Structure 1
Amino acid sequence: MTPLKICLILHSTRSDNLGVGALTVSEVEIIRDIARDLDHRIDITVMDWTDKRTPYVGGDDITIRDLDGRVMINPRGYFAQARRADLVIDIGGGDSFADIYGGRRLRRMFILKYLTHLARTPLVMAPQTIGPFTNKTSAFFAKLSMKLCAIVTTRDDLSTKAARDMGVTRDLVIGSDVALRLPYDAPAKTDGPVKIGLNVSGLLMGGGYTGKNEFGLQMDYPGLIRDLIADFQSLNAEVHLIPHVIVADGRNAGEDDYRASQALHAEFPDTVLAPAFDSPSAAKSYIAGMDFFAGARMHACIAAFSSGVPVIPMAYSRKFAGLFGSIGYNHTVDCTSETAEAIKSKVIAGFENRIALTQEAKTALQTGQTRLKTYESALKNLCAKLIAAQS
């Protein structure tokens, strides 16, 4: 039996951002399910940026190859890997297929996409945010790449609309976030005070990547977080500070949720500081033990949502409302347009109405899983065709 060879790009097995890791772990779970269903071995190669963190996926079907600028432009590097592969799957880091994060990140994405097209290897866009593209040149190359892909999957209705507004006329698969599939260990329920999980974004605590508020927050985020901790503690709740971006080696410390949580824990010593998790599943298993959750990292919120914990997502971009709204969970607050007082009121109201939110989340999760099945089915059908072509 000749294995089907799948290469994953713009995924990560060892990112400090456990949200990107959650996408990769979940994608691998989907591919392994397809391999079992088709009764055919699938070998997976992940092209991954070099990082000191221990990879959180492994197995005899997994190969991890380091990726950097030299590998990207060397004909014997990524291009050769793409030619060896039967299929390339690109998840765009979840939300990076846009020009709002700067030209450097998008250029790297385009290089990988167009090298794949040049290799004439089928390229699948796994569920991800599409846009916004404010630059006409970026929009042109994004539209052309989508035209050349074997499958294009959006993870929310806003992304579908963005693609259509760009002039993309091809069939699109309307999916949802693959991290809904992220495995975890459900903790045993314990007696004691109500447990509130609060994910504090180190990025937002520091004013964004540059400290100049490039996300356009209209409120004092650090002040809001301190007020929420104080208010929840006044209700005799046990507040857990839960990081989801954990910078292991000191680089990019301004993005580190763990350092931000440590500082708040020192200020509010009655809080519980969650561990510096070593994998996305470990973080989700901890979050699953909460009675209520609020956070500014979208995949921390997805971990709560998909493990049955009522959650108030605290958005700094349209990806939050796009994802959760598309599946009927309309409890996202918007840090770019609402006041701190309004957001605090909604978060507290969500906590007080957490039983009703739990039922809403359960219904919305079923919708998200159904939408995700459309992606899994499309990918399975493509794999079956490629396996048949090997015969």
Structure 2
Amino acid sequence: MKPYIIISGLNFRDNNRGTAALSYGSLSFLNERELLSKETKILNFRFVKNLFKSKNRGTNIQKIDIAGVKWECLTVNVFFVEALLFKYLHVCLPFTNLGRMIKQVEYVAAINGGDGFSDIYNTTSFLNRLPDINLAMKFNIPVIILPQTLGPFRESKNKVIADRILCYASQIFVRDDKYASDLEAMGLKYEQTRDLSYYMKPEPFNIEIKANAIGINISGLAYSNKFRTLSGQFSTYPYLINKLIVYFQQKNIAIYLIPHSYNYQKVEVANDDLEAARDVYSKLHDKSNIILIDQDLISPQIKFIISQMKFFIGTRMHANFAAMYTGVPLFGLAYSYKFQGAFEANGIYDSTAMINDISEKEADAIVERIVTKYKSLD
């Protein structure tokens, strides 16, 4: 086995703790599938414009401990001119780090954010996830599509790009069956497995959780109602969240507001769960039994908090996965068909509701469905 692999999209400190969970889970998944050896190093090329800055020179080495196994992650700084030479002239300089190390890569494994192999957000977001895959295809390096949702595609040109990549891939793993007919039509073999975040273990830490509590994940994407192509579809979402809080608060049940995608130092515009949760909390006339998780936590720690809930209501897909994979009953507030597919792939039915362009009357009906499921637990 060659000494290096590339995991496209690897980021243990991504604002989206779900995306970070995929990074933790990807190593455990590949290790479980015997696609890694203990000597394997994780490689990432970082293209830089200014080599005079100290942070842009040399190689950064990070060691990450996952379930007792320590992995070495290398970030190699590469002068951007090399990327341009390769992209436009198909020239790779053999004496540089890029030229030497790329030949020693066993495969590229693609995370794609779990749901980013799609143009649901926009074309730019889709294309921005592909550089490592494109690099692999140009160097004839195998590509592994790690467990994720494939599609949907609004633009036919994007689907052409996606299908070309899938036809090239040596292994394809999916977490649901939403693209199954397309894969079968192309004659491609695939395996349906759990989402990568399943393989990330919860990390207990010093926090006191009240008994029989309910967790609610408020999505900054939906709450802001200003996120890219989804802008304007969630005007009723704050009303829905408030109705849920008021109902369970009146039942004297502890409610934890649990952000799952946020930047603790600098708010992520139109997409920050903590900013949304803080706003909801600040506007509550009665804050009794409401606990806002306002800490800079890593993915395994948030998964631990969610695992301690009696019931969970999530809008972020991977917040729901954290509940699902730790045995917590849940209900998903969905803005994409991926929710229903992912829930049903894990044997959970009638536990999602679409929240795009709903009226207050429809929001009330969603609350009733959630209450019914909660009552069924007793």
- The CA distance in 2 between the partners of 1:10 and 1:88, in whole Å, is 11
Which residue is 1:334 aligned to? 354
Instruction: Return the letter of the residue paired with 1:273.
Output: L
Which residue is 1:248 aligned to? 264
Instruction: Return the letter of the residue paired with 1:324.
Output: F
Instruction: Return the letter of the residue paired with 1:196.
Output: I
CA contact (8 A) 2:218 2:258 kept: yes
How far apart are residue 104 of structure 1 and its match? 1.5
Which residue is 2:179 aligned to? 159
SS in 2 for 1:354: coil
Matches within 5 A, 1:125-204: 125-164=145-184, 167-185=185-203, 194-204=212-222
Counterpart of 1:90 (choices 94, 99, 110) is: 110
How far apart are residue 213 of structure 1 and its match? 4.5
Instruction: Return the letter of the residue paired with 2:375.
Output: E
How far apart are residue 147 of structure 1 and its match? 0.7
Which residue is 1:107 aligned to? 127
Which residue is 1:386 aligned to? none
How far apart are residue 73 of structure 1 and its match? 4.8
Which residue is 2:52 aligned to? none
C-alpha RMSD over aligned residues: 3.1
Instruction: Return the letter of the residue paired with 1:237.
Output: I
How far apart are residue 249 of structure 1 and its match? 3.3
CA contact (8 A) 1:292 1:351 kept: yes
Percentage of matched positions with identical amino acids? 23
Which residue is 1:29 aligned to? 28
- The CA distance in 2 between the partners of 1:13 and 1:190, in whole Å, is 25
How far apart are residue 109 of structure 1 and its match? 2.9
How far apart are residue 204 of structure 1 and its match? 0.5
How far apart are residue 57 of structure 1 and its match? 3.9
- The CA distance in 1 between the partners of 2:114 and 2:97, in whole Å, is 24
Q: Which segment is superposed worse, 152-161 or 332-341?
A: 332-341
- The CA distance in 1 between the partners of 2:240 and 2:256, in whole Å, is 16
Which residue is 1:303 aligned to? 322
How far apart are residue 111 of structure 1 and its match? 3.4
SS in 2 for 1:99: coil
Q: Which has the larger radius of gyration?
A: 2
CA contact (8 A) 1:215 1:317 kept: no
Instruction: Return the letter of the residue paired with 1:327.
Output: N
Which residue is 1:323 aligned to? 342
How far apart are residue 40 of structure 1 and its match? 5.2
Q: 5+ residue gaps in structure 1?
A: 356-391
How far apart are residue 333 of structure 1 and its match? 1.6
How far apart are residue 115 of structure 1 and its match? 1.7
| Residue 40 (structure 2) pairs with residue 17 (structure 1) | no
CA contact (8 A) 1:97 1:130 kept: yes
Q: TM-score, structure 1 length as denominator?
A: 0.79
Question: CA deviation digits over 1:100-126, x for unaligned, max 9?
Answer: 221212222343322211111111000
CA contact (8 A) 1:91 1:128 kept: yes
Q: Which segment is superposed worse, 221-230 or 256-265?
A: 256-265
Which residue is 1:294 aligned to? 313
- The CA distance in 1 between the partners of 2:111 and 2:178, in whole Å, is 17
Which residue is 1:380 aligned to? none
Q: 5+ residue gaps in structure 2?
A: 49-61, 87-95
Instruction: Return the letter of the residue paired with 2:191.
Output: V
Q: Do the aligned partners of residues 216 and 168 (structure 1) sit closer, same or farther apart at CA in structure 2, a change above 3 Å counting?
A: farther
| Residue 302 (structure 2) pairs with residue 283 (structure 1) | yes
Question: CA deviation digits over 1:206-248, x for unaligned, max 9?
Answer: 10414x844744x600000011101110011011100001213
- The CA distance in 1 between the partners of 2:63 and 2:21, in whole Å, is 9
CA contact (8 A) 2:183 2:189 kept: no
Counterpart of 2:375 (choices 352, 358, 362) is: 352
Q: Do the aligned partners of residues 175 and 82 (structure 1) sit closer, same or farther apart at CA in structure 2, a change above 3 Å counting?
A: farther
- The CA distance in 2 between the partners of 1:34 and 1:189, in whole Å, is 34
CA contact (8 A) 2:109 2:143 kept: yes
How far apart are residue 189 of structure 1 and its match? 12
SS in 2 for 1:20: helix
Instruction: Return the letter of the residue paired with 1:329.
Output: I
Q: Which segment is superposed worse, 85-94 or 190-199?
A: 190-199
Which residue is 2:53 aligned to? none
How far apart are residue 156 of structure 1 and its match? 0.3
Which residue is 1:6 aligned to? 5
Which residue is 2:89 aligned to? none
